[in-house]
Structure 1
Amino acid sequence: MGLHDLKIDRVETFAVALPTRRSFGVAGGAVAVAGRPSLRILVRVSADGVSGWGEATPIPAWTYETAESIVTTIDRYLSPAIIGRHAWDVDGATAVFERAINRGFSIGAPLAKSAVDMALHDLLGRAAGVPVGILWGARRTERIELAWVVSGQSPAEVGDSVAEGRGLGYGAYKVKIGLHDEDADAAVVEAVREHAGTEAPLWVDANQGYTVHGALHMARRLEGLGITAFEQPLPANDVIGLRRLRDDCPIPVALDESLRHPSDLATFIRLEAIDIAIAKVQRSGGLTLSRRLCALAEDSGVQLMGSGLTDSDVGLAASLHLFAAYGIDTPVDLNGRQFVESPYAISTVRVEGGTAYVPESPGLGVEVDEAVVRSLAVDVVSNGVP
């Protein structure tokens, strides 16, 4: 049976409770809490005996989708919309998803859509016997440099975190700000620079935590520290504020949450309101729309950076294929391995000394143990989140 004959016959969702390695927070609240399981939604799409896996990362502190909403959106809306469709038609699936769950200001339910789109890519790569990047005909690099996300609420804790990252071979660092007042945030960033050294790439991420005035004030305080990017300083929909900020900010502004859909990037490009675009698979509804966003950025002369959503290994692999396809050569924030474990993965992404190697196996390149997935599964819809 050829690729053109494969028709989708089943979509399954599994909410899995993964072990958490470290605590992690953003301006909106907690992302991971040590000692508590981290929920991820794994999705398996099957077509005539071939299966592929995708992942969604519910982080209500970052965006509106919850574990419950992702599961019910896939089970009750996205799955019925694609059963019986050709598995190769990922572009058509994207259009069908838009009709099943329509867009708001930008895109509707991107995390849920991403998980299914990711699984379709994995399925097609497995059916063809090639990695996803080879399926696309696009792989410009074999390895991606990772950044260490600095955790800690004080200069002393930050020093320990930087030392841990350096000990594991990481040479680039990302710092979350907007968690405290300006003085405390500035002290944390200054401590990172002191411990990381003057040559280490370092950028800050506010996760929408500032006003225009506050962001400019903070940027001017950090100007002498060699910060490579100020990521998402303002609320995602503050288009006018971000345009003003780009004119006056002494640090290049990178947009993440503002770029849900490729059309969002088109708006910021037209307004000359963006320096750097963050590529993030789940935020943009999957690999299909992420490729469109990356191509638009590249063709428009906008710098690309890469990021993830504290993904476990399935999501990590998907991001690596995307970033390799566009040759992203700056360190990326794919921090899942830092904060969560992926016991369901039999063979998976190789990470050594702060470098991730793009998988060579068919599909996404992660072999999933279904028995382990089922043993980790929890019923979030009936019983609530553990």
Structure 2
Amino acid sequence: MRITALNATPVAVPYRADEVWAFGRRRGQVSVLLEVTTDEGVTGLGEAAGYPSADVVLAVLRGLEPLVLGADPTEIEKLVRRIDLVGTWHHVRATSPAIAAVEMACWDIVGKVCGQPLVTLLGGRFREEVEFFYYVAAGAPEEVAAEARRGRAAGFGTFYLKVGADEQSIDIARVAALRDGAGPEALLRVDANEAWSPGTAVRMIRELARFGLELVEQPVSGRNLAELGYVRSRVDVPLLANEASWTRYDQLAVIRAGAADALSADNQLDGGLLNLKRSAGLCEAAGLPVVKHSLGELGVALAAAVHVIAATPNFRYANQGYAALLADDVTTGFGGGVESCRDGRVAVPRGPGLGVTLDPDRVARYAELHRREGATFAFHDPAALAGAPALPKR
């Protein structure tokens, strides 16, 4: 079997509410859907988040063609090493989502050829369902509380909120509203996306701890592990590394530094599903839980991640997903939205490979939306563009 073509389609799928973070916002998810065709008629599906942009992903996919076309899609290790070393792509992090999409599609092909769901090929079902948190869009406190109530009604047990606002009183009011809306038993997780200095992080975490936080994600720079370790030594709430742990090599450094209580990992940021499994193995050896991070994903990438997590023991926290924000999806029978979750959990697909199928009508609709309005889906807003943002904020 040989790969004959890489067919990429960028799509833009709206969110129900804007995703807001410390330095901007976006109105929806841009992904590049990938179909890898073979000379035996088997097609594999992959998905790359449009990170840092869909144009970059598309350019990388074009650059990969000489390395991928003609290769055997079942020889995944050999193919990825060819991309990394012969193609010299291994040190350029912005290329990772495109590479990960190719690797994902190859796994889909292998599963289809074997007639087995991907979870079986990665070690078998350790769990039947995978838990995800409910992503609460940052807004006015009353909006945060209402959205948390919506998540609670849908059966979610863990709630995630971005912090790092320009005024710290806004963060406090939003987290208070999150606790009010989610209820006393819910687990609350906040993410500052590196917005705080070490001193501010210590003060804010101590202030927010009264709301019963499960984890605080990346309160300070991911580039200076000493800062993260300093904060960890001075607060009681466990810290989750994210920007500090995007690749296996970063994760190893965080573990050695003792800088976090849990680590996030993302196949799209580290070149593939097999590397996500390897990340979990590093964390397990260090006695740490691992959490699946997401750059934003539709049903194809969600299904791929679910297969890996279901086959891997130490994904013990709720994982990051975009179900709460997505207004629609591009797959048939397995969606990226809340309807795919039951009590905050996604069942592992049982079909061969990834177990998902694209909906051609919705793919066409959101491909056209990307063509017309794709630039407006990027991480920015007029206020952020007009300002002069600094990291950290204070």
TM-score (norm 2): 0.87
CA deviations over 1:218-239 (Å, ceiling 9, x no partner): 1111122221111111222122
> Secondary structure at the residue paired with 2:60?
helix
Aligned to 2:166: 180
Per the TM alignment, residue 375 of structure 1 is displaced from its structure 2 partner at its CA by 5.0
Which residue does the alignment assign to 1:28?
23
Residue 54 (structure 1) aligns with = 46
Alignment-derived partner of residue 240 in structure 1: 226
AA of the residue aligned to 2:8: T
- Aligned residue number for residue 82 of structure 1: 68
What residue identity is the alignment partner of 1:262?
Answer: R
RMSD across aligned positions (CA): 2.3
**5+ residue gaps in structure 1?**
1-5, 60-64
Cross-structure match for 1:9: 4
Alignment CA distance shift 1:55-1:179 (3 Å):
farther
Q: Judge which range, 358-367 or 374-383, deviates more.
A: 374-383
1:333 corresponds to which of 320, 341, 352 = 320
Q: Which residue of 2 aligns with 1:62?
A: none
Instruction: Letter of the 2:9 partner, please give it.
Output: F
How much does 1:379 deviate? 10
CA contact (8 A) 1:15 1:378 kept: no
Report what 2:385 is aligned to: none
- 2:105 corresponds, among 119, 124, 136, to 119
Q: Secondary structure at the match of 1:109?
A: helix
Q: Distance in 2 between matches of 1:220 and 1:19?
A: 36
Q: Does 1:352 align with 2:338?
A: no
Distance in 2 separating the partners of 1:151 and 1:119: 31
Note if contact 2:136-2:324 (Cα within 8 Å) is conserved in structure 1: no
Query: Does residue 365 in structure 1 map to residue 355 in structure 2?
Result: yes
Q: What is the total number of aligned residue pairs between the two structures?
A: 369
1:260-302 Cα shifts (integer Å, max 9, x gaps): 2211111111122221011322222220211111111112211
Residue 155 and residue 292 in structure 1: after superposition, are their counterparts in 2 closer, same or farther (change >3 A)?
same
Task: Normalising by structure 1, report the TM-score.
Answer: 0.89
Question: Displacement, 1:210?
Answer: 1.4
Extract unaligned runs of 5+ from structure 2.
377-394
Work out whether residues 20 and 138 of structure 2, in 8 Å CA contact, stay in contact via their aligned partners in 1.
Answer: no
Match for 1:215: what amino acid?
Answer: A
Structure 1 residues 322 and 101: CA distance shift in structure 2, 3 A: same
Match of 1:300 among 277, 286, 309: 286
Q: What percentage of aligned pairs have identical amino acids?
A: 28
Change (3 A) 1:384 1:204: closer
- Offset of residue 381 of structure 1: 9.3
Q: Deviations over 1:190-233 (max 9, x none)?
A: 22112222221111111121111111111111122221111111
Q: Identify the match of residue 150 of structure 1 among 136, 155, 158.
A: 136
Question: How far 1:178 sits from its partner (Å)?
Answer: 0.7
1:382 CA displacement? 11
Tell me, yes or no, if the aligned pair for 2:136 and 2:159 is still in contact at 8 Å: yes
Shift of 1:50: 0.7
Q: Which secondary structure does the structure 1 equivalent of 2:142 belong to?
A: helix
> Partners in 2 of 1:162 and 1:376 — Cα distance?
28
Tell me which stretches of 4 or more aligned residues in structure 1 moved more than 4 Å.
Answer: 378-384
Corresponding letter in the other structure for 1:97: I
Q: How big is the shift at 1:337? A: 5.3
- Counterpart of 1:361 in structure 2: which amino acid? G
CA separation in 1, counterparts of 2:49 and 2:324? 14
1:286 alignment counterpart: 272
Q: What letter corresponds to residue 333 of structure 1 in structure 2?
A: Q
- The amino acid that maps onto 1:297 is C
